[in-house]
Amino acid sequence: MVRSAKSRQQQRRRPPKYEPRDRILIVCEGEKTEKLYFEDARQSLGIHRGQAVVEVKSGEGSNPKNIVETAKKLKTKAEQEGNAFSSVYCVFDRDEHAHYQSSIERAEKLKIVSIKSIPCFEYWVLLHFRDHGAPYMRTGTRTPCECVYRDVKAEWSDYTKGRKRLFTDLQERLPDAKSRAVRRLSSARQDGCDNPSTEMHLLLNALEAA
């Protein structure tokens, strides 16, 4: 069968097919701050069709246990549909959650990577401005996370939870934040005390390499 010139022309105009290298799932604590941060990071890092596909979801509940179970459900569903994720991450805080350690162990059994911030995500934000090595403890009625939030506000008065374009606004400070996070995590492993520390840089490194 001989194709017409018009048919050959339409075929030439057909856009090329892209096969994504990886499918990455990130399940975050909360509907706003962390979820918006990673959605902004996905945009700013130029992750688009032809590179990794990154899906960012909120956990069905704000504690680590619920976040891991949400990730498990989404991971299993994708596998059953024949569209498995190559990597699955759970992002959550230490804060004062009762099921923190058991959630880490559960994630490990499920081959899900836990990305932890101790005591909370705002510690990662703080590292964009300065180092901080002293443990965060409950002070009166103020939780450890509220103490971190206070320190962030002292460095960046415009910061609020759920801030849009957070990754973009902090991007020029990212190399410093990563360097401080690496040092803090190394110290935490040597000292056996992970307060304070964060693994956010590990996930961002993985996204940049995708």
pLDDT tens readout for residues 10-49: 555 555 555 557 899 999 987 789 999 999 999 888 765 4
Are the beta carbons of 153 and 130 closer than 8 angstroms? no
pLDDT tens readout for residues 41-71: 998 887 654 467 899 999 998 899 999 999 9
Tell me if 3 is assigned to some domain.
no
Nearest to 173 by CA among 115, 208, 124: 124
Pairwise pLDDT comparison (149 vs 31), residue with the higher score: 149
Tell me if 13 is assigned to some domain.
no
DSSP string, 151-187: HHHHH-TT--TT-TTHHHHHGGGHHHHHHHHHHHHHH
Tell me if 5 is assigned to some domain.
no
Say what the pTM is. 0.87
Tell me if 25 is assigned to some domain.
yes
Tally the domains of the chain: 1
pLDDT tens readout for residues 82-108: 999 999 999 999 988 888 999 999 999
138 vs 144: CA distance, rounded Å: 5
For residue 67, the enclosing domain spans 19-209
Are the beta carbons of 185 and 197 closer than 8 angstroms? yes
